[in-house]
Chain A
Amino acid sequence: MMQHSTGNSNGLMSTSTTNNNNNANNGQSNGSLKAYFKTPEGRYKLQYEKTHPPGLLHYAHGKTVTQVTIAYLKEKSAQLPLTPTSSSSSTSSGGGGVRSAAARLLGSANGSRALSFVGGNGTSKAGSGFNPYSHNRINSSSGGSSASNMLSSSNFDGKGTYLIFNVGDTIYISDYSSQDKDPIKSIHFSTSNPVCHAFDPEAKDGHDLVIGLNSGDVYSVSLRQQLQDVGKKLVGAQHYNKDCSVNSRQAFEQKPSQNWLEKDRYNHHVVLAELDEQDLHRSGVIELLEMGYRSRCASVAWVPEGDGAFIVAHADGNLYVYEKSKDGSGDSSFPVIKDQTQFSVAHAKSSKSNPIARWHICQGSINSISFSTDGTYLATVGRDGYLRVFDYLKEQLICGGKSYYGALLCCAWSMDGKYILTGGEDDLVQVWSMDDRKVVAWGEGHNSWVSGVAFDSYWTSPTSDGTEENVMYRFGSVGQDTQLLLWDLVMDELVVPLRRGPPGGSPTFSTGSQSSHWDNICPVGTLQPAPSMRDVPKLSPLVAHRVHNEPLSGLVFTQESVLTACREGHVKIWMRPGYGESHSGNSESALISSSKEKPLILNKVGSSSYKQQSISHPT
């Protein structure tokens, strides 16, 4: 049983109280959802819920879909994190001696709706952090509290785990480890809706959060700096693709395509709202606005080991490479795309340009992009239903293939880079093998479109003895059917026609060594047509659980939990078996350091607890 803090009325642990508290939030009033789900290794329990402040009515609700990003802020000082004591004493601590620049004052203990920031040391540059207290502690000191009061009760330095999610025109940041349902920070975008974001855990300094907007604008910021600031605007942001200069140039040079007319019945107010921001002397921009052309951002990603490079994928089928260290003021024109149907890469003519490159991927929107863990490969999925895998440094299309039918909406890599999951409008979860360069399994189980997929890299097979022989993967998927599905992928059990040998070899195999093997079947750089239903082995889910009342939009695995997000901006944190009572404060650094290793080596703590659970909860 999970601990409640004294007088806690958030009641996240039980269905009934959850519902009582959620009545203000639309879509959460249905009482049939369970606060746990069973797996062979034990129960996953609903630990926390995070959402936007209640009563919030977004004019654009439903128009933009909530995405969730998890961010681990490392501590700045060298001190080790302390072991958390209990849930009521809150989460992360450690790193004494660093000043807290902002503190939170909560209106009341149970409602915690009114939240604002007091204390104005926003100018502090010494990596000072934000303080995620549990609310009752704050409440105890809230009467006439001052920043210094807060400081005395905290030695927090900004290290912690945060959830970043977008709803309507706002980015919310929640403290992952606190019971508070409400976010600790909201950032409003007056001109357009934020639609995608990515956090760079490897960022050594400077900006680590990149945000893409529906308007096509892109911002990079420091998450820590946002948490320190008391306002509701982005601070210290670098603005890219301002006025959509990148897209507009392209649009002017290019013959109008379907995307010109992207428009109007639903976007018009966005365009109008941004008019006053425009530099009206740039006649091209005015003309552009009249055309109503905006290419919205669809997905953003930091390049692993990319030295601050990040990629923004747009709805017009292009993706752009930016460098955060560079100012974006240079000339950023790119040559006309000669053939819209062909993949092409263009580098900026000017060395001052930011973006530095444009990749034309496909016709129609790119819906999601994902880098393999080591950054060697970039996968894209889009409206045309194709998964494409590129060698990022060589800027080459390696392989890819079509969905059964309809657009693909999401994609994710296995930690070892051998498999890619995709999900889309055919209701299927597709497993793509990099060794085989084709689809090796279709997961059937969703009753609607698959909107999020992820490998559970923290999971190890309970039967695994550490040898590589019986390779097994756990992955999850979420769909618009409001379900979370968990799957086991055991390669030996799949009957894969045309497979050549066991899936072995290095995860970063060079394409040259394998291509000779496959040249006659699938040469490098070719895309496979949609397979026939009877030709692909099928998987069935291990667990299917309805987790929200709204269609789901996101799925994240952390060491101790599974996060699910729905389109309307509710996030649920499901603790893994054995993790229910503990807190995450002590695991973050392990989590970060291990995030780049192979799943089998990962987190021995986690694996042993699974073994225990699978014995005590035989399901």
Chain B
Amino acid sequence: MGAAGSKLEKALGDQFPEGERYFGLENFGNTCYCNSVLQALYFCVPFREQLLDYYTNNKTTGDVEENLLTCLADLFTQISSQKKKTGVIAPKRFVQRVKKQNELFRSYMHQDAHEFLNFLLNELVDILEKESNAAKSSPDASSSPEKIANGPKIPLSNGVQKEPLVTWVHKNFQGILTNETRCLRCETVTARDETFLDLSLDIEQNSSITSCLKNFSSTETLNAEDKFFCDKCCSLQEAQKRMKIKKPPHILVIHLKRFKYIEQLGRYKKLSYRVVFPLELKLSNTVDDADSEYSLFAVVVHVGSGPNHGHYVSLVKSHNHWLFFDDENVEMIDESAVQTFFGSSQEYSSNTDHGYILFYESLATSSKS
């Protein structure tokens, strides 16, 4: 471990970024799903900074009960405050907390990294919302009220949300999709907004993320048994439906649906399709044609041929260097090595390392602290 650390330090030399820490995470038996996501989140700099900010602001208010948020903040603090630049840390308390909180992750079975990410982000949001509610009820408010006051940039016009509380987790990851349905009889367009923390995309063999996003937003015709109830026509009508991105998130998380339920087999199967992802991406399926540009900074990679076993590693871009995190091990890789994780154009291939969750950060400066 120590040797590996020094090797990385040697590789970086005087290029080692000031104040940055590159630490591997110990595996407690099939916890690589957790480790890979944690590394991606740690190197999501706005998220990390806001988590640490929040934590330092809140610690002063006395003993907060341990929850997933405090455990995550503890872990990130532990990493960032290490004296050494590289090494290994055991995320023991965090993992214990995860297992306590959710029985799904309690076993030693192979888990889905995307499910974990989803669980974690939603859990953080819940904790923040609860704290905010508690703070509202008690006048000595402590939980960063200025952030709530900022509110969402784009108000939800036809608000489906029960309350427009926007936490810093939302500010980083939340985007808004709009589901436009056009009745083919009266041409009325009905738009319904929904929020998302990540986009789950269907994938095809030998395609690109751009193409998957296009398919995601492609126009779908509702007819036959799947007609649309038009409020204006007061009846079921044929309609055209499409999804557009109304508000692109600051951190765009794209989940590739590599695990597909095969009905004939009665089980999930891993799709090893080659899906290329560029280091820079623009969303063109937006409502206002904004061409917002993103830069790839982390990839959670699933290693293995099936859905129920295998391994997770992550690729992370930090200060213009690409790093490869495999539990305890951290290595430098060349940018061009990212393309070895695109997938395979053949069904049976020795290469089973496939990009599974992609993290893009918007280049438009907004919520960066």
Contacts and interface: CB of A to CB of B under 8 A. Distances in A.
Interface in B317-369: 320-321, 324, 331-337, 340, 345-346, 351
B211 A258 contact: no
Contact of B15 (A27, A256, A533): A256
Interface stretch (A81-89, A151-159, A260-268): A260-268
Nearest to A450: B208
Interface stretch (B31-39, B49-57, B149-157, B280-288): B280-288
B206 to A, nearest CB: 5
B334 A425 contact: no
B278 A407 contact: yes
B204 interface: yes
Interface in A119-169: none
A62 B334 contact: no
Contacts of B345: 27, 482, 549-551
B332 A261 contact: yes
A447 interface: yes
Given A405-B278, A447-B211, A261 B11 contact: yes
Contacts of B340: 62-63, 266
B206 A448 contact: yes
Given A27-B346, A265-B324, A426 B332 contact: no
Interface in A256-304: 256, 258, 261-267
A230 to B, nearest CB: 34
Given A263-B334, A265-B331, A533 B284 contact: yes
B337 A427 contact: no
Dominant secondary structure of chain B at its interface with chain A: mixed
B11 A404 contact: no
A574 interface: no
Contacts of B66: none
B289 A534 contact: yes
Contacts of A206: none
A480 to B, nearest CB: 6
Contact of A425 (B11, B276, B291): B276
A62 B208 contact: no
A265 B333 contact: yes
A325 interface: no
Contacts of B278: 405-407, 425-426, 449
Contact of A448 (B12, B276, B291): B276
B289 A427 contact: no
B280 A532 contact: no
A interface majority secondary structure: loop
B13 interface: yes
A342 interface: no
A481 B278 CA distance: 14
A385 interface: yes
Contact of A447 (B208, B291, B332): B208
B320 A258 contact: yes
A26 interface: yes
A490 to B, nearest CB: 25
B279 interface: yes
B293 interface: yes
B200 interface: no
A141 B12 CA distance: 63
B77 interface: no
A264 B11 contact: yes
Given A261-B332, A405-B293, A448 B211 contact: yes
A480 B208 contact: yes
B169 to A, nearest CB: 27
B276 A480 contact: yes
A405 B296 CA distance: 12
Interface string A520-547: 0000000000101110000000000000
Nearest to B286: A533
Interface in B170-211: 204, 206-208, 210-211
A262 B279 CA distance: 17
In this complex, the member of A426, A448, A481, A534 whose beta carbon has the largest number of chain B beta carbons within 10 angstroms is: A448
Nearest to B363: A405
Contacts of A533: 282, 284, 289, 291
Nearest to B12: A261
B274 interface: yes
A37 B43 CA distance: 48
A448 B215 CA distance: 12
Nearest to B281: A405
Contacts of B289: 532-534
A405 B282 CA distance: 7
Contacts of A550: 345-346
B8 to A, nearest CB: 11
B291 A262 contact: no
A406 B12 CA distance: 26
A480 B335 CA distance: 19
A549 B273 CA distance: 12
Contact of B279 (A261, A265, A406, A448): A406
Interface string A416-448: 000000000111000000000000000000111
A533 B320 CA distance: 28
Given A532-B289, A532-B291, A263 B276 contact: no
Contacts of B321: 258, 261
A579 B219 CA distance: 41
A551 B274 contact: yes
A262 B331 CA distance: 13
Contact of A406 (B13, B211, B281, B334): B281
Interface string B264-280: 00000000001010111
Contacts of A534: 289
Contact of B208 (A256, A266, A448, A549): A448
A551 B345 CA distance: 7
Contacts of B13: 256
Given A265-B324, A266-B337, A447-B211, A385 B280 contact: yes
A533 B284 CA distance: 7
B337 to A, nearest CB: 6
Contacts of A427: 208, 210-211
A24 B322 CA distance: 37
A481 B340 CA distance: 17
B211 A404 contact: no
Contacts of B333: 263-266
B59 to A, nearest CB: 38
Contacts of A405: 278, 280-282, 293
B290 to A, nearest CB: 9
Interface in A427-479: 427, 446-449
A26 B351 CA distance: 14
Interface string B67-108: 000000000000000000000000000000000000000000
Best-buried of B14, B206, B211, B346 by chain A (most CB within 10 Å): B206
A262 B332 CA distance: 9
A449 B211 CA distance: 10
Contact of B210 (A365, A426, A482, A530): A426
Identify which of A62, A63, A258 gathers the most chain B CB atoms within 10 Å of its CB.
A62
Contacts of B279: 406-407, 425
13 contacts: A258-B321, A263-B332, A265-B324, A315-B336, A405-B282, A406-B281, A425-B276, A427-B210, A448-B207, A449-B278, A480-B206, A480-B274, A549-B345
Given A261-B12, A406-B281, A481-B206, 4 more contacts: A264-B332, A405-B293, A406-B278, A447-B207
Q: Please provide the 9 A-B residue pairs with the shortest distance between their CB atoms, ordered closest to farther.
A: A406-B278, A425-B278, A447-B211, A448-B208, A405-B282, A405-B280, A447-B207, A427-B210, A406-B280
Interface of B: 11-15, 204, 206-208, 210-211, 274, 276, 278-282, 284, 289, 291, 293, 320-321, 324, 331-337, 340, 345-346, 351
